[in-house]
Amino acid sequence: MSRRKIGFWYRLAAVIAKPPLVVLFKRDWRGMEHIPAEGGFITAVNHNSYLDPLSYAHFQYNTGRVPRLLAKAALFKAPFVGSILRGTGQIPVYRETTNALDAFRAAVDAIERGECVAFYPEGTLTRDPDLWPMAGKTGAARVALMTKAPVIPVAQWGAHLAMPPYAKENKVSLFPRKTLRVLAGPPVDLSEFYGREATPEVLKEATEVIMAAITALLEELRGEPAPAEPYDHRKARAEQRRKAAGEGKK
């Protein structure tokens, strides 16, 4: 399997995006040696700011192994952004439609062609009050077990200081200059799951191993321990509804 060439569209995106990133932010990048030089692989990245896909893409671009990210299908319809996304080979995600499996197939095909596919296993910006990674979805694990491709965990921290997630006014704070921290770790060992049927339980266990690796890297970046249990947004919402129903009966 060969490595994918960067190509015109990725270089154009870099010409547009890199100068402001270099000027406006400081960088603390570590772990580039863990990015495979050849062959297909997966990166699994935490998500705590609308800005961090650019931060991660900048880091990954500088390794010479450009990523294909899974992005909401609606973004591909935007006139200029859509052209960039299509030209750079990003993968549209059609949620809850008959095309929902297309992203999965495209990810597998890309990895088998020797490319890098980046997953945000949480599926959205973290809802954890302290911005730790949430419980992950199983897409990355499913692709990893099917392809047996290396899974490189990547932690990010700092983009939220410039662009906080879910801020009511979504204020951008660029000054003083923030430091975008990115740390890649060694491949996650998923060998215990190879050869097993990809049941929901197996995929959940493999996902937990991936999320634990990302969280450990984020602990290193933040210099503090993560909660013992990852935040589960569905459970939290169910608990909120239960409490609201209980209060409504009083």
Average pLDDT rounded to a whole number, residues 109-124:
94
At 6 the pLDDT is 76
Query: What's residue 3's pLDDT?
Result: 56
> For tokens 């210099």, what's the residue?
223
- Window from 86-90, 138-142, 196-200, 232-236 with minimum mean pLDDT: 232-236
Q: Looking at residues 30-49, what average pLDDT do you find? A: 97
Give residue 216's Cα distance to chain centre: 15
Average pLDDT over residues 127-150: 96
Domain boundaries, the chain: 7-248
Which tokens is 164 given?
Answer: 């906080």
Q: What average pLDDT does the segment 111-127 reach?
A: 94
The proportion of the chain whose per-residue pLDDT surpasses 70, expressed as a percent, equals 92
**Angle of the 52-61 helix axis to the 7-24 helix axis, nearest 10:** 120
Q: In this model, does residue 115 exceed pLDDT 60?
A: yes
Tell me if 110 sits within 8 A of 91, measured CB to CB: yes
Region of poorest pLDDT, from 1-10, 22-31, 49-58, 145-154: 1-10
At residue 29 the predicted structure's pLDDT band, cuts being 50, 70 and 90, is: very high
What's this model's pTM, rounded to 2 decimal places? 0.90
Rounded to the nearest 5 percent, the helix, strand and coil shares of the chain are: 45, 15, 40
pLDDT tens digits, one per residue of 45-70: 999 999 999 999 999 999 999 999 88
**Residue bearing the bigger pLDDT, 21 or 96:** 21
Asked whether the beta carbons of 31 and 183 are under 8 A apart, the reply is yes
Q: Identify the band that residue 236 occupies on the pLDDT scale cut at 50, 70 and 90.
A: confident
Amino acid 131: pLDDT: 97
Backbone angles phi, psi at 7, to 5 degrees: 80, 170
Q: What residues contact 33, with CB distance under 8 A and at least 6 apart?
A: none
Dihedral sign from CA coordinates of 119, 122, 127, 129: negative
Per the listing, tokens 């060694």 go with 186
For residue 159, which amino acid is it?
A: A
**Both structure tokens of 78:** 């935007």
d(CA 32, CA 116): 14
Q: Which fold has domain 7-248?
A: Glycerol-3-phosphate (1)-acyltransferase (3.40.1130)
